[in-house]
Amino acid sequence: MSQSQGRALQILGELGRGPRSLDELAGAIGVHKTTVLRLLRTLQADRFVRRDDRHRFSLGSRLFELGTASLEQHALRDVALPDLARLGRATGGQAVHLAVLEDNSPIYIAKVESTSSVRMYSRVGLPAPLHATAVGKVLASGLSERRLDAVLADTDFHAFTARTITDAAAYRAELAEVARRGWSEDANEHEAFVNCVGAPVREPDGRIIAAVSISVPDMILDHDQVRALVPQLLETTAAIEAAWSDNRTGDPTRERTTR
């Protein structure tokens, strides 16, 4: 990757956090304003960046197009959405996520929003911490030992809460338990007020290709009540697996509906 390409990506990453002025971008990236302005003009010409009447820069409409295309290329997302929506309704309007592993990080590719006024913060397209989320544990539990070694060597075991797992040995023990029982949990490990349970979506050969989770603030359901949702979660992942198999083989007999 060229230096200019790297800096352009840094600009887009910085703008992903919110609008920025030229001075703010130059300071964040650590290069002269003239260099940043040149890159911004190139990005603006292709609609990756836009500038408002206060001379502040933000992400442009071209990224909406690319984001939509990226989601459309995740065929599993389209297959899973009806069952994810059903799970959200069946659990009383709780938040439901679908995540895949990308560059050693779980990435949310679908979300059913909670109907509660109290919600956890998450967004489609955002990465989640591998060591502190239910989806992360599920996805990591399916890795080969060699791949897991590489992933854990690249993992920052940051302590988000007092309950976060902060070392590789304890995390490996947790993954063994996830593999044994077939589901995972995040018990106030990423956010101090949220409990989550997660389960794998597998290919017919047994490989884990995605993870589904239910996330609930503990003021709505306590830890044991969230655990009690595991059977519904496992029913949903089994339904997604069946639909995914039908999709891959072109079986038209399984009716899909979100009603």
- Strand residue runs (E) in the chain: 20-21, 49-51, 56-59, 95-102, 105-112, 184-187, 194-202, 208-217
pLDDT at 202: 93
159-170 confidence digits (pLDDT tens): 999 999 999 999
- Is the predicted pLDDT of residue 44 greater than 90, yes or no? no
55-91 confidence digits (pLDDT tens): 899 888 777 666 665 554 468 888 999 999 999 999 9
Please classify residue 61 by burial: count the beta carbons closer than 10 Å to its beta carbon, then call 0-12 exposed, 13-18 middle and 19+ buried. Answer: exposed
- Is the predicted pLDDT of residue 215 greater than 90, yes or no? yes
Cβ neighbours of residue 67 closer than 8 Å, sequence gap 6 or more: 125
146-196 confidence digits (pLDDT tens): 999 999 998 999 999 999 999 999 999 999 999 999 999 999 999 999 999
Q: What is the mean pLDDT of the chain?
A: 86
- What is d(CA 163, CA 132) in angstroms, rounded to the nearest whole number? 9
Residue with tokens 């200019």: 4
Mean pLDDT, range 32-53, rounded to an integer = 87
Cα dist from 68 to 9, 63, 64, whole Å: 19, 8, 6
- What is d(CA 121, CA 112) in angstroms, rounded to the nearest whole number? 12
Please check whether residue 91 is in contact with residue 112, taking contact to mean a CB–CB distance below 8 angstroms. no
Q: Which domains does the chain have, with CATH numbers?
A: 3-65 (1.10.10.10), 74-249 (3.30.450.40)
